[in-house]
Amino acid sequence: MEKKFRIDFDESNVLESVTYTLVSEFNLKPNVLRADIAGDGSGIMLLSIEGDRDDIIRGMTHLREQGFGVKELKGHIFHDYDRCWSCGACTSLCPTRSIYYDPDTMVVKLNTGTCIACGSCINACCVKAIQLEL
Ligand code: SF4
Ligand code: SF4
């Protein structure tokens, strides 16, 4: 199975060890969709993880025990085209390029097939045209 998680960390030097641990100790296949690191070394990492359900649970429990913030990304994004005025403010925040400007139609569109419901785009929208539905 595949699940997606947001991992919050305090020190950037842990990034490689997280993915290494998930592979070597829990037989998982992590794919880093996005990693943002602040000046003080803290940051977030968006991971897509493939593996057995029990291995995923064990791996995430291990990360929590190590002090990481671990949040599973669930639900789906609703893009309200009636509200959206295609300003583009949300597009640069998307780690998977799922919300994007379509030059042919000159409107911002959402690809629901690749959106991981990370929520990064939501606060960028001043007209609330993007909502997370659980
Ligand atoms: S929630 Fe928004 S930012 Fe996150 S993947 Fe989906 S469209 Fe992109
Ligand atoms: S920020 Fe809101 S209004 Fe602007 S393109 Fe994105 S969804 Fe549309």
Q: What is the CATH number of domain 2-72?
A: 3.30.70.260
Q: Hey, whose CA ends up nearest to atom 4 of ligand 1?
A: 118
- The CA distance from 39 to 15, in Å, is 15
pLDDT given for residue 29 in this prediction: 97
CATH class for the region spanning 76-133: alpha beta
Q: Is the distance from CB of 13 to CB of 30 less than 8 angstroms?
A: no
Q: Which amino acid is at 44?
A: I
- The CA distance from 92 to 100, in Å, is 8
User: In angstroms, what is the span from residue 43 Cα to ligand 2's centroid?
Assistant: 25
Residue 93 CB-density burial (10 A; 0-12 exposed, 13-18 middle, 19+ buried) = middle
Q: Which ligand 2 atom lies nearest to the CA of residue 101?
A: 5
User: Comparing C-alpha atoms, which of 92, 81, 95 is closest to residue 127?
Assistant: 81
Q: Is the distance from CB of 12 to CB of 37 less than 8 angstroms?
A: yes
- What is the tens place of the pLDDT at every residue in 16-74? 788 999 999 999 999 988 888 888 888 888 899 999 999 999 999 999 998 899 999 88
Q: Hey, whose CA ends up nearest to atom 1 of ligand 2?
A: 125
- The CA distance from 18 to 9, in Å, is 10
- The CA distance from 74 to 59, in Å, is 18
- The CA distance from 107 to 101, in Å, is 6
Kindly indicate the confidence band of residue 108, based on its pLDDT and cuts at 50, 70 and 90.
very high
Domain-by-domain residue ranges, the chain?
Answer: 2-72, 76-133
pLDDT given for residue 12 in this prediction: 64
Q: Which ligand 1 atom lies nearest to the CA of residue 130?
A: 2
Integer-rounded Cα Rg, in Å, for the chain is 16
